[in-house]
A and B are shown apart, each in its own frame.
Chain A
Amino acid sequence: MMVVNKTKVMVIGGGTTGVGIIRDLALRGIDAVLVEQQDLAHGASFRFHGLLHSGARYAVNDFSAAKECIEENIILKKIASTCINNSGGLFVQHKTDRDEYIGEWLRGCSEAGIEVKEVSIQNVLNENPAMSRDLKRIYSVPDGIIDGARLVWANVYQAMEYGARVLTYTKLSGIYTANGKVTGAEVINTLTGQKSNWECETIINAAGTWADEVAKLTGIELNVTKNKGTLLVFNQRLTQKVVNRLRIPDDGDIIVPHHTVTILGTTSVNTDEPDSAKPTSGEVQILLDAGRELFPEIDNYRLLRAYAGVRPLYAGNGEVKDDDGRDISRDFRIFDHAHNGLNGFISLIGGKLTTYRMIAEKTVNYVCKTMGIKKKCQTAEIPLVDSKRLLTMDGKVNKFAVRYGIRGEMIQKYLQQNPEKEITLCECEDISFAEVEEVASWKSTNNLDDLRRKTRIGMGTCQGLYCSFRSLGSAWNAMKNKPQHPLRQLVCFLEKRYKGQKSVLWEAQIKECELTLGIYSTIFNLERVEENSEV
């Protein structure tokens, strides 16, 4: 007989929205489980530009979004400081951008409460010499840089500490109902194929781009507009602050220095195939053309890869205006499917990463009301990593707490026991053997690609050339006991790293790609391993 597990609330989807909700539930002391079909943050939560909005981008077109953004921006800088680089941002007016927009924009920012200051062009150019000389005005705003994967895991680690359960590689396969009410769910482990049953009172569908598929399990039609955004990654920091174009939001307006690289985005086009969304060469051109106006030498920088994320947008009453999703508000909507005759089933559509905490708060407030629970939200007050764990004895910020949230202390402990593991494994992103070996041993790390999202191996200039072999080798005893054969993990990892390089395979990057091929095909003969041993 199948084991039946019990919980009160089941959350579907391990992106920022879902993890925000599970954290909120956990901090209120409500028993909950989160179910994610792949790894956490495999979707739009990690496939975006990494910008923590100040709201200034929405000051003209979407005032309420602007207001929400700045409120959340201030809260997140306080509670999620480990995931945020408080770099500040710039809005720059190129000589071709209309002057009339600026007055409107300044008014919007001021009304929303976004602090805007005009800054000297010369000072900005001194600090960012790669920027164009064709700029008319520059304003500073409180934008920041946020690491989506880090944010997701920090939420989850804390939620788990407060008693929440989180199941990755677990797909919702059925929803049980009785008398027009949700009673439970069947889930399936996508790695082992094992099924299990859960009893629960409420299911929150926060599956983002996949929310319509989840709703369909109950026969309910949900209208999610899937909007693909393509982004480019350069191998160095082109600026120190976030740079936005001061004009009506358009393609290629946002430039974010993220860790050791720079991300340029985005485009916006609706898609029917969220699982196979990939950048086109046309989109790469559009982004380069836009980027060139602010960074004239952009073609001479090394382009590492292009990738696409799919935004789940709320499509109003089922009507999409045109193919460009940017006109649709990115605001989120809560759908209580009681209106469809099913109690205890809630779907969310839309939302932005910057406002993920607020979305979670509103959702859980609503759910508590329907369930008759009276507990206050605490997510804006309790930080993801408390200062005791964040600071070392001598008051410095602990690097591992920044990278791994409350689990940073596990890395610290591993390093104390194995001091020789301090040496660097990944030179691009400065990641040690200790980090890789400890994180690989965690149950939630199922393969090299999961390890990448947690540690950033493979994200830098070499795109996995050294670190994939080294990670697999150093964490071998952990990796060989994961569900996927370790050499298969290596092949998949290299394949995914290659996928992003495919549409930018020129200049330095074709050399890097040839070198990687030279090592894994010519030296290690890895393509034959797969053929010969049914890995």
Chain B
Amino acid sequence: MKYDVVVIGSGMSGMIAAAKAVSRNKNTLIITKGQGILPLTTGCIDIWGYQVNNPKAPALNPYEEIQRLAACKPEHPYARVLDVLPESIDFLKKILKNSGYSLTGSIYSNQKVLTALGTERVTALAPESMVVKDFARLKRIIAVGFNRYPDFFPQMFLDNLNTIIPQAAKIPVLIDLDIKETVRSNHLSLLLERQDILAKVEEQIRVQLLQHGIENKHYDDSMLIVLPAVLGKNPGSQVAKRLRSNFNTQVIGVPGLPPSIPGEHLQQALMIFLKRQGVEFRHNSEVVGDIRENGKITYLSVKDSTAIFHSVEAGSVILAAGSFIGGGLTAKQDSMLEPIFKLPVINPRHVGEDVPFLSLEGQGFLEAGVEVDDKLRPLKGIDNLYAAGSILAHGNYASEKSGLGIAVATGYKAGSLA
């Protein structure tokens, strides 16, 4: 069987590339080795976090900052996709809404969201379940932990919040669901879908707040109830909405250690859309080689989970295999490789250089990758091969807060051209 477009990788860039390709009526296949990196992300779409000329200050308008960036750093992946940037973000929002995962925000402004550590982060698009209306107007913040749940600590969250929202009173609450083993995020997200459990949670919150002198009359928009980001099992979950309307307060879920439930929702939402559009998937499969004719890839050799090799005929190929975590790049003791097509990998900064682990400059190895031209074709590469997402060189998603933004824009462009 011949596919017009074969996408390698099922992270954000791969799935957006496939979505765009299928919207152009291309017969599209995704080949994916693992589950993609989205379940490790916050579920927000970070586009550009801080000012190019003053990395300490949050970027007010990510799109403007990226234009500034492209002017001074033309090798950056964003510089290749300026032409499609706003439309790619609109495209993503439309797809996700279609699958029940709605994002608020736009590429023209950033918003502040809270994390499970009690720190704040800036992001362009956030799911409704993370958005806080007006930090300055909050009078009470209630942090809700769960007995035997190891990944959210109400008191730590609240104390760290003191530097961000100093004026609000802060009250920790601990819910006991009478479970005698470790409670995991996935488990909790399923439990909260049950009416009886949710009612129990509500009841315990109300009882504990009453002990702090907080009565029903105090429940209003100036009160924020914070849970770990485990609000429901699927992208269209109503758990957050239900809690909001029952309490008549603001309610959010804050992201923390993986697995991230909002990240899983984001992934599910994209999957649902792609499957509905007829994109095919080969899961647990790895591209191990290719056949080329006249400088073009004609066939990919694919190894499936039972170690059987298949030949897949491809019109064009989008390489969206990710960075090191995804396996799109591998590092050896003295070199870095792109293992599928053996594309040259450049490492603009030295590995292991003396930069603090956490710094504004960011770790250099994240900037390693494949270099591409304005059509996202790897340099000295192959005519019908495109690359997208974190496999691209020169971006630094951790320090720039740009990961999914780059993935969406480059995936979209690759899917438009392939």
| A residues adjacent to B (C-beta < 8 A) | 281, 285, 420, 423-425, 433, 466, 469-470, 472-474, 476-477, 480, 486-487, 491, 494-495, 498, 502-503, 505-507, 510-511, 513-515, 517-533
Q: Check A466/B257 contact, CB under 8 A, given A525-B119, A532-B56.
A: yes
CB of B156 within 8 A of chain A? yes
Partner of B256, one of A480, A487, A523, A530: A523
Q: What is the CB-to-nearest-CB distance from A377 to chain B, in angstroms, rounded to a whole number?
A: 46
CB of B236 within 8 A of chain A? no
Partner of A520, one of B148, B331, B358: B358
Are A494 and B358 in contact, with the CB atoms below 8 A? yes
Contact with A along B38-52 (1 / 0, CB 8 A): 001110001000100
Are B352 and A505 in contact, with the CB atoms below 8 A? yes
Interface pairs A-B: 9 shortest CB-CB: A473-B153, A498-B357, A527-B358, A521-B398, A506-B331, A525-B121, A476-B156, A502-B352, A423-B182
Contact partners of B333 in chain A: CB under 8 A: 281, 285, 506
Contact partners of B163 in chain A: CB under 8 A: 532-533
Chain B residues 109-164 with CB under 8 Å of chain A are 115-117, 119-122, 147-148, 150-153, 155-156, 159-160, 163
Q: What is the CB-to-nearest-CB distance from A470 to chain B, in angstroms, rounded to a whole number?
A: 6
CB of B219 within 8 A of chain A? no
CB of B288 within 8 A of chain A? no
Determine the distance from Cα of A309 to Cα of B198 in the docked complex, in whole angstroms: 53
A to B CB contacts below 8 Å, 5 in the list: A423-B181, A521-B362, A522-B403, A523-B121, A528-B50
Please give 11 more A-B residue pairs, beta carbons under 8 A apart, in addition to A518-B40, A527-B358.
Answer: A285-B333, A423-B148, A466-B257, A469-B256, A470-B151, A476-B156, A514-B323, A517-B357, A521-B362, A523-B121, A523-B255
Q: Check A472/B156 contact, CB under 8 A, given A491-B358, A505-B331.
A: yes
Residue of A nearest to B354 (CB): A502
Determine the distance from Cα of A402 to Cα of B155 in the docked complex, in whole angstroms: 32
Are A519 and B331 in contact, with the CB atoms below 8 A? no
Q: What is the CB-to-nearest-CB distance from A26 to chain B, in angstroms, rounded to a whole number?
A: 38
Chain B residues 353-407 with CB under 8 Å of chain A are 356-360, 362-363, 365-366, 397-399, 401, 403
Residue of A nearest to B183 (CB): A423
Are A476 and B159 in contact, with the CB atoms below 8 A? yes
Contact partners of B325 in chain A: CB under 8 A: 511, 514-515, 518
Q: Check A525/B40 contact, CB under 8 A, given A473-B153, A495-B358, A514-B324.
A: no
| B residues adjacent to A (C-beta < 8 A) | 40-42, 46, 50, 56, 115-117, 119-122, 147-148, 150-153, 155-156, 159-160, 163, 181-182, 255-258, 260, 323-325, 330-333, 351-352, 356-360, 362-363, 365-366, 397-399, 401, 403
Q: Check A527/B359 contact, CB under 8 A, given A477-B155, A506-B333.
A: yes
Q: What is the CB-to-nearest-CB distance from A481 to chain B, in angstroms, rounded to a whole number?
A: 11
Determine the distance from Cα of A495 to Cα of B355 in the docked complex, in whole angstroms: 10
Determine the distance from Cα of A380 to Cα of B263 in the docked complex, in whole angstroms: 58
Determine the distance from Cα of A519 to Cα of B159 in the docked complex, in whole angstroms: 20
Partner of A505, one of B156, B159, B362, B365: B365
Are B401 and A522 in contact, with the CB atoms below 8 A? yes
Q: What is the CB-to-nearest-CB distance from B216 to chain A, in angstroms, rounded to a whole number?
A: 30
Contact partners of A477 in chain B: CB under 8 A: 155
- In the complex, the number of residue pairs spanning A and B with C-beta atoms less than 8 Å apart equals 129
Are A507 and B332 in contact, with the CB atoms below 8 A? yes
Determine the distance from Cα of A236 to Cα of B406 in the docked complex, in whole angstroms: 37
Residue of A nearest to B120 (CB): A525
Determine the distance from Cα of A527 to Cα of B121 in the docked complex, in whole angstroms: 11
Are B257 and A517 in contact, with the CB atoms below 8 A? no
Determine the distance from Cα of A319 to Cα of B125 in the docked complex, in whole angstroms: 67
Are B150 and A470 in contact, with the CB atoms below 8 A? yes
Residue of A nearest to B44 (CB): A523
Contact partners of A281 in chain B: CB under 8 A: 333
Dominant SS at the A interface?
helix
Determine the distance from Cα of A517 to Cα of B357 in the docked complex, in whole angstroms: 8
Determine the distance from Cα of A473 to Cα of B401 in the docked complex, in whole angstroms: 25
Are A529 and B398 in contact, with the CB atoms below 8 A? no
Q: Check A517/B366 contact, CB under 8 A, given A466-B257, A523-B115, A527-B360.
A: yes
Residue of B nearest to A499 (CB): B357
Contact partners of A423 in chain B: CB under 8 A: 148, 150, 181-182
Are A526 and B358 in contact, with the CB atoms below 8 A? yes
Contact partners of B117 in chain A: CB under 8 A: 469, 524, 526
Partner of B399, one of A469, A519, A521, A523: A521
Are A530 and B358 in contact, with the CB atoms below 8 A? yes
Contact partners of A533 in chain B: CB under 8 A: 163
Residue of B nearest to A424 (CB): B182
Contact partners of B147 in chain A: CB under 8 A: 420
Contact partners of B365 in chain A: CB under 8 A: 505, 510, 513-514
Contact partners of B155 in chain A: CB under 8 A: 476-477
Determine the distance from Cα of A249 to Cα of B362 in the docked complex, in whole angstroms: 42
Determine the distance from Cα of A347 to Cα of B152 in the docked complex, in whole angstroms: 50
Q: Check A507/B331 contact, CB under 8 A, given A522-B401, A523-B121, A524-B117.
A: yes
Contact partners of A513 in chain B: CB under 8 A: 363, 365
Contact partners of A487 in chain B: CB under 8 A: 160
Contact partners of A469 in chain B: CB under 8 A: 117, 151, 256-257
Are B257 and A529 in contact, with the CB atoms below 8 A? no
Contact partners of B255 in chain A: CB under 8 A: 523
Contact partners of B121 in chain A: CB under 8 A: 523-525
Contact partners of A473 in chain B: CB under 8 A: 152-153, 156
Contact partners of A507 in chain B: CB under 8 A: 330-332
Partner of A518, one of B116, B119, B182, B398: B398
Residue of B nearest to A473 (CB): B153
Contact partners of A519 in chain B: CB under 8 A: 40, 257-258
Partner of A510, one of B119, B122, B160, B324: B324
Residue of A nearest to B164 (CB): A533
Determine the distance from Cα of A385 to Cα of B152 in the docked complex, in whole angstroms: 36
Q: What is the CB-to-nearest-CB distance from B185 to chain A, in angstroms, rounded to a whole number?
A: 12
Q: What is the CB-to-nearest-CB distance from B174 to chain A, in angstroms, rounded to a whole number?
A: 10
Residue of B nearest to A509 (CB): B331
Q: What is the CB-to-nearest-CB distance from A440 to chain B, in angstroms, rounded to a whole number?
A: 12
Contact partners of A517 in chain B: CB under 8 A: 357-358, 363, 366, 398
Residue of A nearest to B263 (CB): A523
Are A474 and B153 in contact, with the CB atoms below 8 A? yes
Are A511 and B324 in contact, with the CB atoms below 8 A? yes
Determine the distance from Cα of A313 to Cα of B9 in the docked complex, in whole angstroms: 55
Residue of B nearest to A421 (CB): B148
Contact partners of A433 in chain B: CB under 8 A: 150
Partner of B351, one of A476, A505, A522, A527: A505
Q: What is the CB-to-nearest-CB distance from A264 to chain B, in angstroms, rounded to a whole number?
A: 15
Contact partners of B403 in chain A: CB under 8 A: 522
Q: What is the CB-to-nearest-CB distance from B343 to chain A, in angstroms, rounded to a whole number?
A: 18
Determine the distance from Cα of A520 to Cα of B159 in the docked complex, in whole angstroms: 18
Contact partners of B331 in chain A: CB under 8 A: 505-507, 510
Partner of A521, one of B122, B330, B358: B358
Contact partners of B56 in chain A: CB under 8 A: 528, 531-532
Determine the distance from Cα of A511 to Cα of B359 in the docked complex, in whole angstroms: 19
Determine the distance from Cα of A43 to Cα of B153 in the docked complex, in whole angstroms: 33
Q: What is the CB-to-nearest-CB distance from A511 to chain B, in angstroms, rounded to a whole number?
A: 5
